[in-house]
Amino acid sequence: MKHLTLGAVLGLAVMVSGVGQANALLLGETIQTTTENTTFGIVDGPDNSVVGVGVELPNFTGLVDIDFSDTMIKLTATSDHTFLTLPFNGLHFFDFNGTIPSWTASLNLGLTTGDVSGAIVTFDNNNIYVNVSGLTITGGESMLVLNIGETIPQPVPEPSTLLLLGTGLAGVIAWRKRTSQV
């Protein structure tokens, strides 16, 4: 009986530990990058990059190195520059093949060394927009670091599964009580 109970507990622990684990999100995926603004439309690009090791877009537009990792997009300024103040003036990252699950993006202020208080990050299922309108960057600084995450729905157990599990546990408890009284 001890082996049966220990096996059930270990099996349950293995099932629970596998729920909600992060998968490789960007590694091996193709990201299309453009610079855009509301006055001129697409200014530079599109440049397609397969996410791997190293900086994928060195000195992009003569202003930034863009390094994609599995869960981050890091932009490092290569020169000093002030961006024009427009309703939108910035970068557009696009899931070129449509194979990345729904992603999320947020600024990682702990890894960003410049003043990005005016930067606005928006995203949908296949696009990330980084509006840097009016920002001033300094060469060599981590201009922006974006954390990229996946929207992972948590599995919901079916009521019949919970009923079966509960009935089995109640049976084990009742059997244990019965054998301990004899």
What are 109-120's pLDDT values in tens digits? 777 776 777 788
Tokens 């990059």 label which residue?
49
Residue 168: half-sphere exposure toward Cβ, Cα within 13 Å: 10
pLDDT the model gives residue 36: 92
pLDDT the model gives residue 33: 94
Distances (CA, A) of 99 to 5, 14, 96: 42, 29, 8
In the numeric block, which tokens belong to residue 149? Answer: 């995450």
Q: Whole-model pTM above 0.85?
A: no
Distances (CA, A) of 1 to 12, 33, 153: 17, 60, 37
Which has more pLDDT, 93 or 137? 93
Q: Is the pLDDT of residue 4 over 50?
A: no
Number of other CB atoms surrounding residue 94 within 10 Å:
19
Q: Is the pLDDT of residue 8 over 50?
A: no
Q: Which residues contact 82 (CB under 8 A, 6 or more apart)?
A: 134, 135, 136, 137
Tens-place pLDDT, residues 29-42? 999 999 998 888 88
Which has more pLDDT, 8 or 73? 73
Distance CA 158, CA 13 (A): 18
In the numeric block, which tokens belong to residue 98? Answer: 């449509």
